[in-house]
Amino acid sequence: MLSAAGAIVAAGGQLVVSGTGEAHFERALKDVHRQFPSAVGVDIGFDEGEARRIFAGTDFTLMPSRFEPCGLSQMYAQRFGSLPIGHETGGLAETIEDGRTGFLFRQPSVEAFLGAICRAFSIFGSKPRLNAMRQRAMARVFSWHRSARNYADLYQRTI
């Protein structure tokens, strides 16, 4: 995301980053904010209410994770109508339907990430397509009911 920030801003995008992490990433994010103060907001720290407001107020949620066992952010984003843009790995690949409820990219590279962002910007330019994707994303159900039923069926077949 740090390497893609300049291209995102140049294309008219804005970034909001909230959270904590490794100190060198936090410093780098603050540097990006200083470079693009009117287009990049950075808040080092975490507040659940603020996170929900960010999901609700953004068009896309960037998730270029190199690995992601599951995570919840992409599911929260979809529920709030913020389409996730994620690396096709782990739980991101399992919970984002590429081109339907978000965008996936295969290679963990800046070029592949920017390709997915370009696809998202293209959809953003078509409000009917954007709103259809948002509706599909917001309608997703990530409850344990289906998983629990699948486990119960598996256990019954095993017995």
Domain architecture of the chain: domains with CATH: 1-46 (no CATH), 59-158 (3.40.50.2000)
The per-residue pLDDT for 50 is 95
Q: Report how far residue 125's alpha carbon sits from residue 128's, in angstroms, rounded to the nearest whole number.
A: 9
The per-residue pLDDT for 133 is 98
71 CB-side CA count, 13 A: 25
Helix spans in 58-109 (H): 73-80, 90-95
Tens digit of each residue's pLDDT (9 = 90 or more) over 95-144: 999 999 999 999 999 999 999 999 999 999 999 999 999 999 999 988 88
The per-residue pLDDT for 87 is 97
The per-residue pLDDT for 90 is 93
Tens digit of each residue's pLDDT (9 = 90 or more) over 19-76: 999 999 999 999 999 999 999 999 999 999 999 999 999 999 999 998 888 889 999 9
Sign of CA dihedral 108, 119, 99, 75: positive
The per-residue pLDDT for 70 is 80
The per-residue pLDDT for 145 is 86
Other CB atoms within 10 Å distance of the CB of residue 28: 16
The per-residue pLDDT for 27 is 97
Q: Report how far residue 123's alpha carbon sits from residue 99's, in angstroms, rounded to the nearest whole number.
A: 9
What is the pLDDT confidence band of residue 147, given thresholds at 50, 70 and 90?
confident
Residue 146 has pLDDT above 90, yes or no: no
The per-residue pLDDT for 69 is 80
131 CB-side CA count, 13 A: 3
